[in-house]
Amino acid sequence: MNKEIIMNSTNEETRLVIREDNKVVELFVEAPEHERMVGDIYKGKVSRVLPGMQAAFIDIGHEQNAFLHFSDINPRYQEFFKKNNQNTRSKKYYDFNVEKDMKKGQDILVQIVKEPISTKGCRVTGEVTVPGRFVVLIPNQKHIGVSRKIYSHKERKRLKDIARQILPNDFGMIIRTVAEGKSDKELKKDMNDLLNAWNRMEPNIEQQKAPSLVYKDMSMASSIIRDIFTADITGVHVDSRKMMREISTYVKDVAPQLVHKISYYNGKEPIFDHFDVEQEIEKMTEPKAWFSNGGYIIIHPTEAMVSIDVNSGKFIGKKDHESNSLKVNLEASREIARQARLRDLGGLIVIDFIDVLEEENKRKIFLELKKEFAKDRSITKIEPMSRFGLIEMTRQRVRPEVILSMFEPCPKCEGSGLVPTIATTVSRIERWVQRYRSTKGDRRISIHVTPAVYDYMNEGRFSKRLRLMWKYWMKIVMVRDDQLDIGEFKVFDIKDKKTVELTGKKAA
């Protein structure tokens, strides 16, 4: 498989894509106002403890308090502040009862694991970790874990033995997938770098007043290089000399054998145009995604879930209906996995496949979907196809959908994709007039409307404006106003020229 990383940097934002066999499978966007927060460590203050929700809310200095589930609280969380809080040392951590022992106003060290989404604040954990390239350091722990993607029992044992030899007291470690085959010298160097980072962090943890940021993880681009730049990456292309220097310096330190794969792009056309990436990104805003055999899927995110509908589209096929449906569904499975990674879809996902009757075909579709999502770095859980032809699955979400970092809701339709028709707006005007007359309001008003509504209301000899005047026995003057949005109208009292009401796109 040909796998590339392409980076584009401007004054306003940094964009990074991962391509597999010349198809974009992941997109990351970071702007100054939307910096990556996952991995950041805060000294926070307990704001509320809610046993009924099995959670606490933590003030970390953001507009919204962070959410901390009881299951994510380390019983030894006050050990981080033991120098300043001697009375906590007599309490054994195994006697800890979160509902009784955690109190409002206590300091707590937390790490962001999920960025704020919509109206929800960050999700945080009390199990603080410091990630490196080969290992993840865990303070106040003694656990040693090995990535599940390292399948060799012999290799797992070797790595655990190395970890036991190099780990200091009161620290745990998780050995990452990229550590497979690495020497004890390489692992020890990575661990020492993390220990140095932790030692620099400790004075801030003890001395800074909560809430405060005590550790900032790498930028988006650097963290991607740290986490996925391995020998299977065929090339990294960068169009910024500054970023090129940063990445090269880091890679020379942790994986010097990969430096030759990093190249600087200095072409005249934008880098994403050169690699045919920009066009694929533009298509992300469209709900419809086509695949090679002529079928397509419709992706519709909602507050509760993401629904995906599979359609045969232009695909005709040369076999029976069952075989044709299977072929479209298998192709759809591959495209769904790609689009889920590309758009960073998360939460509950429900897929409506084209109906197939044979159980073996249903199983093939399920297995194909699992195989494709196995390439995904996010955690996914997939259920077999139901008797209704639906597959339900969940995909881990740690950040808002990438499209939300590039686009904002339309101010005219307020994100619904719909605006009122002219007839609907005129009906709203009439209902407003009817309510106004029922309160014995003034008989003379002027109504400012959009040009389209103005033309509609004054069209013909017996215009709709005249009919409205006769029906409610009022003098109504229509005024064309180019400043109003679709669906808006503004009402003035003719006598004293005061605004009576400005009515927007919502039902009037």
What is residue 89's predicted lDDT score, i.e. its pLDDT? Answer: 45
Model pLDDT for residues 453-504, shown as the tens digit of each residue: 999 999 888 899 999 999 988 899 999 999 898 889 998 887 766 666 666 5
Q: Please give the structure tokens belonging to residue 500.
A: 């009576």
Backbone angles phi, psi at 209, to 5 degrees: -85, 135
List residues bridging with 491 in a β-sheet. Answer: 447, 501
**Burial, 169: exposed, middle or buried (Cβ in 10 Å; 0-12, 13-18, 19+)?**
exposed
Closest CA to 252 of 376, 133, 356, 89: 133
Model pLDDT for residues 319-344, shown as the tens digit of each residue: 888 899 999 999 999 999 999 999 88
Architecture of domain 41-215: Beta Barrel (2.40)
* Runs of H (alpha helix) within 344-396: 359-373
Backbone angles phi, psi at 4, to 5 degrees: -130, 155
Q: Please give the structure tokens belonging to residue 262.
A: 């990093």
Q: Contact 425/487 with Cβ under 8 angstroms?
A: yes
**Residue 428 backbone class (left: φ over 0; alpha: ψ -120 to 50; beta: rest):** alpha
Checking if the pLDDT of 125 tops 50, the result is yes
Mean of the per-residue pLDDT values of the chain: 87
Which residues in the chain are classed under CATH 2.40.50.140? Answer: 41-215
Model pLDDT for residues 41-59, shown as the tens digit of each residue: 999 999 999 988 899 999 9
- Reported in sequence order, the residue ranges of 275-370 that DSSP labels E, i.e. its strands, are 288-290, 296-301, 306-311, 347-352
Q: Contact 355/389 with Cβ under 8 angstroms?
A: yes
Q: Contact 437/505 with Cβ under 8 angstroms?
A: no
Mean pLDDT of 279-297: 88
Which residues in the chain are classed under CATH 3.40.630? Answer: 286-405
Closest CA to 126 of 143, 139, 145, 144: 139
Which residues in the chain are classed under CATH 3.30.420.40? Answer: 3-35+219-278
Model pLDDT for residues 69-81, shown as the tens digit of each residue: 998 988 777 777 7
Closest CA to 160 of 145, 171, 148, 150: 145
Mean pLDDT of 83-89: 46
Mean pLDDT of 369-378: 91
List residues bridging with 262 in a β-sheet. Answer: 236
CATH 2.40.10.10 fits 3-35+219-278, yes or no: no
Closest CA to 347 of 296, 303, 313: 303
pTM above 0.85, yes or no: no
List CB contacts of 201: < 8 A, sequence separation 6 or more.
41, 130, 214, 215
Closest CA to 254 of 382, 387, 134, 120: 134
CATH 3.30.160 fits 286-405, yes or no: no
Checking if the pLDDT of 406 tops 80, the result is no
- 288 vs 283, 313, 335, 343, 379, CA distance in Å? 9, 11, 11, 13, 25
**Pairing outcome for strands 444-449 and 489-493:** antiparallel
Q: Contact 353/389 with Cβ under 8 angstroms?
A: yes
Model pLDDT for residues 234-286, shown as the tens digit of each residue: 999 999 998 899 899 989 888 888 999 999 999 888 999 999 998 888 888 88
